[in-house]
Amino acid sequence: MTTLVTGATGNTGRQVVAELVRRGESVRALTRDPAAAAGKLPAEAELVAGTHTAPESLDAALKGVTRLHITVTAGLAETGPELVRRAVDAGVQRLTVVWGGWVGPVEEAVAASGAEWTRLEPQEFMSNTLTWTESIRNEGVVREPYDHPSALVHEADIGAVAAVALLDDGHAGRAYNLTGPETLTPRERIAILSRAIGRDITFVPITHEQAVDRLMATGVSRADADYVVGWYAEPTDDATTVVDTVEQVTGRPARTFAQWVDEHAERFR
């Protein structure tokens, strides 16, 4: 049984690859740049060149694949439904998808695919904290528009839930809201980070518009930047309510933010 993972070098995709490899599965990791990806993923994973936003070029990558994990990225709303059709035609029987933050054309195509599917609906990723590395390292500050509460989820837990849904029975037709074990605001995250790296870190408020501009400067569209900063301004109930889905699905408690910080502390020093 071989699984193709799209977005395999990303925050969540690499965790899906790692977990499947840990469980002894045959994994194909899709990347636009295999040279850059080399060394970032477990050696047992087979790197395959391509992009999921060009599904017509994925025939070779899909050959012999019965499981597919889709990471929704920019551009996939247009081509994702075609990817799903081709994958099912090629023999994929089970699909998992990490949503783009809402149920759009790709997520709908997965649910209508006729294959077994599971949709992962993580709330805010702990890895978003990595956007603070430079300002903490260089200035000892974090600039955010809001001190919003968020039940952040560890990317490894998203990978673990995806692997269970891909490999074990009983998860077909389910949409899993995924959170971590606690709700934290940026100031509370800063306090945990500060203790871990042994340095004071100051929270510096910025305006809503400055936060939107900062995201757009990284290549994010105006609509997506408005969505993300709007989400911080008025967090949804799902974003602030801890659920135990990770533990229910994997049998292990969700990882804490303190654990995530232990794993990444060097990057903030």
124-153 residues in contact with ligand NAP (CB under 6 A) are 124-125, 128
Structural tokens at position 200: 């004071």
Closest alpha carbon to 122 in 94, 96, 93: 96
Question: Contact between 9 and ligand NAP (CB under 6 A)?
Answer: yes
| Chain residue whose CB lies nearest ligand NAP | 10
- What pairs with residue 153 in β-bridges? 125
- The answer to whether 28 and 3 are in contact (CB under 8 A) is yes
Cα separation, 4 vs 87, whole angstroms = 10
* DSSP label at residue 92: -
Q: Pattern 52-91, binding to ligand NAP, x per CB under 6 A?
A: -x-----------------xxxxx----------------
For residue 75, the minimal CB distance to ligand NAP (Å) is 4
Q: Residue 200 or 234: which CB sits closer to ligand NAP?
A: 234
SS3 145: coil
Read off the amino acid at residue 77. Answer: A
CB nearer to ligand NAP: pick between 122 and 186: 122
Contact 203, 190 (CB under 8 A): yes
CB of 198 to ligand NAP, least distance (A): 27
Candidates 248, 227, 235, 116; CA nearest to 176 is 248
To ligand NAP, the closest distance from the beta carbon of 210 in angstroms equals 19
DSSP designation for 256: P
Query: Least distance in Å: CB of 182 to ligand NAP?
Result: 16
Only one of the segments 5-13, 185-193, 214-222, 251-259 lies at the binding site for ligand NAP (rule: CB under 6 A); that segment is: 5-13
CB of 15 to ligand NAP, least distance (A): 8
Minimal distance, residue 9 CB to ligand NAP, in Å? 4
H helix intervals, 90-185: 105-111, 133-139, 155-167
Q: Which residues of this protein are in contact with ligand NAP, per CB under 6 A?
A: 7, 9-13, 31-33, 37, 51, 53, 71-75, 98, 100-101, 122, 124-125, 128
